[in-house]
């Protein structure tokens, strides 16, 4: 399996819509505030990289670039493609875009222990929490990775 990475442009909109909507609906505890439209990039503000596997949408990362690095809005892999290393591939592609000393920041639902362990194993460091960040009243755990 060789994933292909794409920088989002408007021509991709309907290609990626079903896959992103599937991810959003499967992870509603973490994505309650997000819709397809909110995940899409805003020119001059946010960007989106998506990956294709075997001719199908497989995952994405939506992020806000800044001088300090990137703040992840959301990242996800389609249910059928999970546990195949694609999340690792997405993070590697994102981190490759950083300059030395820049960081990737992201938030994780406090009860998403699998994701927390994954990010720690990848080298992300816990930076704190945002109390009652999610719609279910749970905190968001803040992590960063410095290149």
Give 10-residue mean pLDDT values along the chain (147 residues): 87 89 73 69 89 91 94 90 91 94 96 94 97 91 97
Query: What pLDDT does residue 33 have?
Result: 57
pTM of the model: 0.86
Q: How far is CA 17 from CA 35, 56, 138, in A?
A: 10, 12, 28
Q: Specify the number of domains making up the chain.
A: 1
Query: What pLDDT does residue 35 have?
Result: 74
Q: What is the CATH number of the domain that holds 9?
A: 3.40.630.30
Domain extent for 129 = 4-146
Query: What pLDDT does residue 34 have?
Result: 66
Query: What pLDDT does residue 55 have?
Result: 87
Closest to 4 in 3D by CA, of 63, 50, 70, 35: 50
């Amino acid at each position: 399996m060789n994933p292909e990475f794409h920088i989002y442009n408007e021509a991709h909109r309907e290609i990626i819509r079903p896959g992103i909507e599937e991810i959003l609906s499967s992870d509603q505890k973490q994505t309650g505030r997000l819709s397809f439209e909110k995940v899409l990039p805003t020119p001059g503000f946010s960007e989106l990289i998506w990956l294709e596997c075997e001719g199908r949408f497989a995952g994405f990362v939506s992020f806000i670039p800044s001088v300090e690095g990137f703040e992840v809005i959301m990242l996800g892999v389609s249910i059928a493609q999970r546990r195949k290393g694609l999340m690792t591939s997405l993070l590697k592609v994102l981190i490759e875009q950083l300059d030395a000393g820049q960081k990737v920041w992201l938030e994780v639902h406090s009860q998403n222990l699998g994701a927390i362990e994954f990010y720690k194993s990848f080298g992300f460091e816990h930076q704190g929490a945002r109390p009652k960040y999610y719609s279910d009243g749970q905190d968001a755990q803040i992590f960063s990775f410095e290149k």
